Amino acid sequence: MPLDLLVRSFCRIVVDHYPIIAGRPAINSVGKGVLVVDPSNPNVPDIDDIHIEQPAESFFEILPSETKGDPSASFFNTRKLYSISGIPNLPKATYHRDNSSAIIRFLRFKDSPYVGLMFSISHVIFDGIGAIMFLNHWAEYTRNFAAVEDGAYQLIEPPLIDRKIMDQCFEDVEPLELPSIRHFKENLPSFSMESPANIAPVLMATPDVEVLEEQHLIHFTAANLERMRQDIDPSQTTNTVLAALMTKNVLLANIKTYGTMPKTSYMVIPYDSRPISGIPRQYAGNASFAAIAPLSPKTVAEGSYRELILAIKEHSLKRESGHTKAALQTIETELALLYQASFTLCNSPLSSYLCISNIRYMPLKAIDFGNGAPCITAMNYFFKEGMAYLYSNYQNGGLDLYLNYRDKNFKEFVELDDIKKYVNVIY
């Protein structure tokens, strides 16, 4: 994958289908935050090679197979990459100052056939689905670049990028009350702060935030996932049971770390609003929202997993179009409340917090720049403590969970009985 080809194909896919990536924030005539593409002043992506003086294998962790004859699984240790190689953290894609809205690094390892792709793009532009859609389209252009340059190639499934699509889909929807918003209003102190007509300009001007380097990776083998589901509640899905397992044990680890029961345990499940709102599947913007479950810490810590599952589902199922419309209105009109809530959603003596973004169904395996599908997927450092990302592991059929969690809390977490029973700790 020569850098010149990758840069040229990136520029072409942006020009042909994703010009919004080169846009800059502005306020339109009705006070809405918009991205404006000005050909005389584009937001130029930052793409470069990084040459690393160690082979890629230096950063691998190996999990032997539990079954004789089956292959072992390899994991890329992000913490090792930064500590051993000395390369700087990948910057956050942002509109603050004049930073790029897309930052890409190709890792070229010494004496190794592996090539790593590090990718950061502004959340203002894409949600996870839109970002993976873009990567697949960029890879498709790269594989067919000769035909692209000749004007003879069309994407198999082009994206839809018109932001008016979301407005049209929610225009006639009546908002439904969100219990999580009522919870924050009843439990957070009043806070005087004028809300803008739209939060987008605020997001676009947000200053740089340091990444949290206390990242951990745990793995669930396929056998352990099924054993966990059968032990906890075989009537539930793997995703639901895993969410309950993690919510309970993060709280228990926090109690051991801080020596006190928090006031609230928060479980947050981001969801894609496309299927429930009529937004086309090919929409490449940000159409994801979060179902927030404020839970009784006593129920989480002392109740059964089945009780916890019911409590989580009571909130996480509130994701109809009306609930999403209410979330949109809150984003646009109650910034002060969201600002306060962001400080509550953390792991501390006062609160327990876990947000699991499930990207196991996204077509990561389809991303092929001409050298085949990714053999190992990994997560770069991210920013919010308590955030977790759930990936499919294509090597052994299990699941990988990347977790931003303080090292002192994680030390208690891995010693809990149910974590020892169902989880392989990678780093």
Residue 199: the pLDDT is 54
Asked if residue 196 has pLDDT above 60, the reply is: no
What distances in angstroms separate CA 413 from CA 160, 244, 313, 390, one per listed residue?
A: 43, 14, 24, 18
**3-class SS of residue 356:** strand
Mean pLDDT of 226-230: 97
Q: Average pLDDT for residues 188-206, to the nearest whole number?
A: 61
3-state SS assignment for residue 219: strand
User: How much is the pLDDT for 191?
Assistant: 65
The pLDDT assigned to 1 comes to 79
Q: How many CB atoms lie within 10 A of CB 331?
A: 16
Helices (H), 57-178: 78-85, 128-143, 145-149, 164-170
Which band of pLDDT confidence, cut at 50, 70 and 90, is reported for residue 203?
A: low
Q: What percent of the chain has pLDDT over 70?
A: 94
Alpha-helical (H) ranges within 26-163 are: 78-85, 128-143, 145-149
What secondary structure, in 3-state letters, does 294-329 show?
EECHHHHHHCCHHHHHHHHHHHHCCCCHHHHHHHHH
User: pLDDT value at position 209?
Assistant: 65
Give the total residue count for the chain.
427
pLDDT exceeds cutoff 90 at 208:
no
Residue 137 has pLDDT above 60, yes or no: yes
Distance (Å, rounded) from C-alpha 118 to C-alpha 180?
Answer: 35
The mean predicted confidence, pLDDT, of the chain is 89
What are the pLDDT digits (tens) for 286-315?
A: 899 999 999 999 999 999 999 999 999 988
Please say if the pLDDT value at position 40 is more than 70.
yes
Listed ranges 97-101, 305-309, 337-341; the one with the highest mean pLDDT: 305-309
Contact 214, 419 (CB under 8 A): no
